[in-house]
């Protein structure tokens, strides 16, 4: 079974631009969660989508948004990029319907904002 | 107090030793706990999860949970240089698919 895939793997943007990242979950998984990882803050939860609906949300500003498509693929968008948005963005997929289930992480997208 | 804390580290042990990694959590209602390993430049991968008090063993790895004291630990026996990585403790908070992670402990195993 193929794992979680994320595109692109690396991205360089300038302040003020916007960016869209994509995540394809493991086949059969309906939940996609997004995390931001930085050296200072560690791994922080952004939001989770299940069956095309945002089910959970972390404490990030409205510049961070996402969506999920009917095939469970998910995108996240960051508008008006700031230097502090430079980070590794990880998505994780899971079935989304089972208690105590495991999340499987993709390889991540490394975003650098100049 | 942060929800999940991993205060000790970085940790350096010689090859063959036991590495002990600790994590404390603040929510007494937490039911399950996950340990992820993250190699430099890679994404986290699940090593173990535990939801019952006591020990859970998987090969060289043992997870220990003490709900009364609100800590969970990971023991790595016969540590190998390939175990050198950052180990992240994670606790589901709120709904199931939201994991709160500790900052991680970086382990270095010296040959």
Tens-of-pLDDT digits for all 114 residues of chain A?
Answer: 679 999 999 999 999 999 999 999 999 999 999 999 998 889 999 999 999 999 889 999 999 999 999 999 999 999 999 999 999 999 999 988 766 678 899 999 999 999
3-state secondary structure of A51: coil
Using the beta-carbon criterion (under 8 Å), do B100 and A104 form an inter-chain contact?
Answer: no
Residue numbers in B near A31 (CB within 8 A) = 97
Kindly identify which residue of chain B lies nearest to residue A110, measuring between CA atoms: B41
**Count of Cβ atoms closer than 10 Å to residue B75 Cβ:** 17
B101 pLDDT more than 70: yes
pLDDT at site A1:
66
Residue of A nearest to B96 (CA): A99
Residues of A with CB under 8 A from a CB of B: 31, 33, 35, 42-45, 48, 50, 55-56, 58, 90, 92, 94, 96, 98-108
What is the predicted pLDDT for the residue at B111?
92
Residue of B96, B103, B105, B106 to mutate for A, most A C-beta atoms under 10 A: B96
User: What own/partner pairs with CB < 8 Å and gap ≥ 24 does A101-106 have?
Assistant: A101/B96, A102/B34, A102/B46, A102/B49, A103/A33, A103/B46, A103/B97, A103/B99, A104/A3, A104/A4, A104/A26, A104/A29, A104/B46, A105/A4, A105/B36, A105/B43, A105/B44, A105/B45, A106/A3, A106/A4, A106/A5, A106/A6, A106/A23, A106/B43
What mean pLDDT is predicted for residues B1-28?
Answer: 88
Q: Residue B1 pLDDT more than 70? A: no
So what's the pLDDT on residue B95? Answer: 62
- How many CB pairs below 8 Å do chains A and B form together? 61
Interchain contact, A103 vs B99, CB within 8 Å = yes
Summarize the confidence of residues B31-35 as an average pLDDT: 89
Q: List pLDDT tens digits, range B61-74.
A: 999 999 889 999 99
pLDDT at A31: 93
pLDDT score at A13: 97
Q: Is B69 on the interface with A (CB under 8 A)?
A: no
Model confidence at B4: pLDDT above 60 = yes
pLDDT of residue A101: 77
Looking at residue B45, its pLDDT comes to 94
Q: How confident is the model at residue B97 (pLDDT cuts 50, 70, 90)?
A: low
Query: B91 CB near a chain A CB, below 8 Å?
Result: no
Asked if the Cβ–Cβ distance from A33 to B98 is below 8 Å, we say: yes
Going by pLDDT thresholds of 50, 70 and 90, the confidence category of residue B96 is low
Residue of A nearest to B37 (CA): A105
């Amino acid at each position: 079974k193929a794992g979680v895939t994320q595109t692109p793997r690396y991205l360089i943007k300038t302040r003020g631009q916007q960016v869209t990242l994509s995540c394809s979950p493991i086949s059969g998984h309906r939940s996609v969660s997004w995390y931001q990882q930085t050296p200072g803050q560690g791994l922080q939860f952004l939001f989770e989508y299940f069956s095309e609906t945002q089910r959970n949300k972390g404490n990030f500003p409205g510049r961070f948004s996402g969506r999920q498509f009917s095939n469970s693929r998910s995108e996240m968008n960051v508008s008006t990029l700031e230097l502090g948005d430079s980070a590794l963005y990880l998505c994780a997929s899971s079935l989304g319907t089972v208690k105590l289930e495991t999340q499987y992480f993709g390889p991540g997208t490394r975003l650098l904002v100049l | 107090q942060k929800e999940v804390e991993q205060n000790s580290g970085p940790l350096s042990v010689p090859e063959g030793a036991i590495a002990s990694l600790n994590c404390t959590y603040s929510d007494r209602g937490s039911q399950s706990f996950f340990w992820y390993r993250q190699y430099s430049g890679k994404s986290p991968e699940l090593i173990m999860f535990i939801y019952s008090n006591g020990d859970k063993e998987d090969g060289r790895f043992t997870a220990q949970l003490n709900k009364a004291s609100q800590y969970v630990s990971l023991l790595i026996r016969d540590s190998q240089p390939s175990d050198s990585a950052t180990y992240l403790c994670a606790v589901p908070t709120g709904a199931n698919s939201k994991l709160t992670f500790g900052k991680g402990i970086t382990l270095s195993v010296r040959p």
